[in-house]
Amino acid sequence: MDREREIYHRLLGRYGPQDWWPAETPFEVIVGALLMHQTAWRNVAEAIRNLKAAGLLDVRALASASIPVIRKHVKVAGLYRTKPTRLRDFCLHLLARSGGDLRGYFDRPLEAVRDDLLSQAGVGPETADSILLYAGGHAVFLVDAYTIRIGRRVGLFDSDDYDQVQRHFAARLPRDLGMFQEYHALLVAHAKALCRPAPRCEACPLQDLCDFGTARVHG
DNA sequence: ACCCAGGTGGCCC
DNA sequence: GGGCCACATGGG
C-alpha cells in the first residue's frame, strides 16, 4: 500500500473519525476559514459565537455591517485591522456573484470556483481549499503547516511548497470528498497530539516512518 | 518573558 | 521565483 494511504489508515485507527470542520452551515465554514489565519481555533470559535449572537453570521447581515462593529466581535481572533474588511468584502463578493446563494456559488467546476476564491483578499491556497473542501463539497486535498510538518517528518517529501505538497497527495490518493475531509482533520489531530514542533515520539503511530537521524529537515 | 497558533500579502533581490 | 516580514490576540 502507498504510504499516503497507510498513514491515513493508521491515523484513523488511532484517533478515529474527527467529524470536522466544526460548523453548522457552509457560511460559518467560510467565516471560520477567513478568521483562522495564524490564530488558535479557540479564539476563532469565540469570534464566531460573538458574530452569531449579534445576528451577523449571515451573508447579507455581514455584508452590510460596519467595520467597527465587525471588529468588535472578531477582535479576539487577532489581526483585527485586516480580518473585518476581508470578511465584509468577501460577503459583498458572494452577493454580487451569486446573490448570496452558496449552493449556486459552488455549483461550478472546482477550478473555476477555486480561481474565484483566490481572487479575493485574504484568500490564499489554504483558505480557498478549506472553503472548497468543507463548505463547497469539492474534493481537494487541503494542505496546511501541519500537513507539511508531518509529511516531511515521515519522509514523504522535502518540499514546503503548497502546490507541490498538494500534488504529491492528489497523485497518490483516490479523489474522495469524505476521505479528503477526514485526512486533513486527522493530520491536525495528530499534529496537536504528538507531532508538535518538539515531537513526542513515544507511542506515535507513525514512529517507524520517521527518521530523525538523517540530515533531513524536520521543521 | 518568551514562543506558538489549521496564512496572506507586500516587499526586496 | 524564492526569502523575509508585519500582522495581533490569547494560551502554554
Which residues does nucleic strand B approach, with CB less than 7 A?
Answer: A 20-22, 32-33, 36-41, 78-79, 120-128, 130, 134, 144-146, 162, 188, 191-192, 196-197
The residue written with cell numbers 446563494 in the block is A101
Residue A218, pLDDT score? 43
Residue A30, pLDDT score? 98
CB < 7 Å to strand C — which of 113-172 in chain A?
161
| pTM recorded for the entire structure | 0.95
Residue A217, pLDDT score? 41
Q: Which nucleotide is at minimal CA–C1' distance from A143?
A: B6
Residue A19, pLDDT score? 82
Residue A80 contacts by C-beta under 8 Å, 6 or more apart in sequence? A71, A74
What is the CA A77 to C1' B2 distance in angstroms?
Answer: 21
Residue A212, pLDDT score? 75
Q: Which nucleotide is at minimal CA–C1' distance from A40?
A: B5
Closest CA to A143 of A129, A154, A124, A157: A129
Q: Which nucleotide is at minimal CA–C1' distance from A127?
A: B7
Query: Which DSSP category does A188 fall into?
Result: H
What is the CA A76 to C1' C9 distance in angstroms?
Answer: 6
**List of E strands, A5-58:** none
Q: Which CATH class is domain A3-18+142-209?
A: mainly alpha
Nucleotides of B under 7 A from a protein CB: 3-9
> Other C-beta atoms within 10 Å of A17: how many?
11
Give the total residue count for chain A. 219
Cell output for A193: 497530539
Mean pLDDT per 10-residue interval, chain A, length 219 residues: 95 94 93 97 98 98 98 98 98 96 97 98 98 98 97 94 97 98 97 92 93 52
What is the CA A163 to C1' C2 distance in angstroms?
Answer: 15
Domain ranges, ordered by start, for chain A: 3-18+142-209, 26-134
Cell output for A194: 504528538
Q: Which CATH number fits domain A26-134: 3.30.70.2190, 1.10.340.30, 3.30.930.10, 3.90.1720.10?
A: 1.10.340.30
